[in-house]
């Protein structure tokens, strides 16, 4: 087990409704095939005095703001005080936490967004998990499938761990900042509190508490 990529090293599970699922697993990508079924079960437990049905298999907290131009496909749950802004595209299997921003033309598919996540401008987030208060700058995206369509392996820097999955996006720890127009390659894992420079191409593992300038220059925060 590569300890820095474990769920308990990346995330504070008190900030997501997905905690019952995630605490049973080791690596975060192990949750990806389970998100849809988990959301369906979660919908059955939502307090109806606090949540409303906004589309088939899509439930949103009554305090959430959803623009008319957003497209919502279930199953999905949208948490309290979250904004789903104009032309956002939720393709299904999306668990969006409290106080999140899903912005203009942002697309979500098979994801868990912890509370306070911001993906506010032209982002694609697929087959990914974004930790508490993670933020993706304008135009930054997760790439979730390899060009040769083979299974994704996680690169630890000293070896590779098979995920057994053809589609794996990025796993961003709590308080991660991704710079504008960056690409997170399939299976990228970014540790807590790390910042990634704009226009970066991130692959494999980036340690917690780092500043990612480019593939050959990753420095610790002082």
pLDDT at position 174, please? 98
Neighbours of 193 (CB within 10 A): 16
What does each C-alpha distance from 52 to 17, 106, 183 come to in angstroms?
17, 22, 35
Active-site annotation holds for 73: no
Q: What is the pTM of this model?
A: 0.97
DSSP H helices in the chain: 7-10, 19-22, 35-45
pLDDT at position 208, please? 97
Question: All domains of the chain, ordered by start, with CATH?
Answer: 3-220 (2.160.10.10)
pLDDT at position 1, please? 86
pLDDT at position 152, please? 97
pLDDT in tens, the chain (222 residues): 899 999 999 999 999 999 999 999 999 999 999 999 999 999 999 999 999 999 999 999 999 999 999 999 999 999 999 999 999 999 999 999 999 999 999 999 999 999 999 999 999 999 999 999 999 999 999 999 999 999 999 999 889 999 999 999 999 999 999 999 999 999 999 999 999 999 999 999 999 999 999 888 999 986
Q: With 0-12 CB in 10 A as exposed, 13-18 as middle and 19+ as buried, what is 129?
A: buried
Question: Which residues, in sequence order, are bridge partners of residue 183?
Answer: 141, 201
Among residues 15, 73, 121, 175, the one annotated as catalytic is 121
136 neighbors 96 (Cβ within 8 angstroms)? no
Secondary-structure breakdown of the chain: helix, strand, coil percentages, each rounded to the nearest 5:
15, 40, 45
């Amino acid at each position: 087990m590569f300890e820095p990529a474990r769920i308990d090293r990346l995330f504070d599970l008190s900030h997501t409704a997905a905690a019952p699922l995630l605490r049973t697993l080791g690596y975060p990508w192990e949750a990806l095939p389970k998100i849809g079924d988990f959301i369906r079960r979660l919908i059955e437990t939502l307090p109806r005095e606090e949540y409303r049905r906004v589309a088939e298999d899509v439930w949103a907290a009554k305090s959430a703001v959803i623009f008319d131009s957003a497209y919502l496909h279930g199953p999905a749950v949208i948490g309290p005080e979250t904004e789903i802004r104009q032309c956002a595209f939720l393709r299904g299997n999306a668990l969006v936490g409290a106080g999140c921003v899903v912005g203009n033309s942002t697309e979500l598919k098979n994801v868990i967004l912890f509370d306070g996540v911001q993906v506010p401008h032209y982002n694609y987030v697929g087959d990914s998990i974004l930790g508490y208060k993670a933020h993706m700058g304008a135009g930054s995206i997760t790439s979730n499938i390899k060009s040769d369509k083979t299974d994704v392996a996680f690169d630890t820097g000293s070896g590779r761990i098979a995920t057994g999955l053809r589609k794996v996006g990025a796993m961003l720890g709590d308080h991660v900042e991704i710079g504008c127009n960056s690409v997170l390659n399939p299976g990228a894992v970014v540790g807590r509190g790390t910042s990634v420079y704009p226009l970066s191409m991130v692959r494999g593992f980036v340690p917690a508490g780092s500043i990612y300038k480019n593939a050959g220059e990753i420095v610790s925060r002082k």
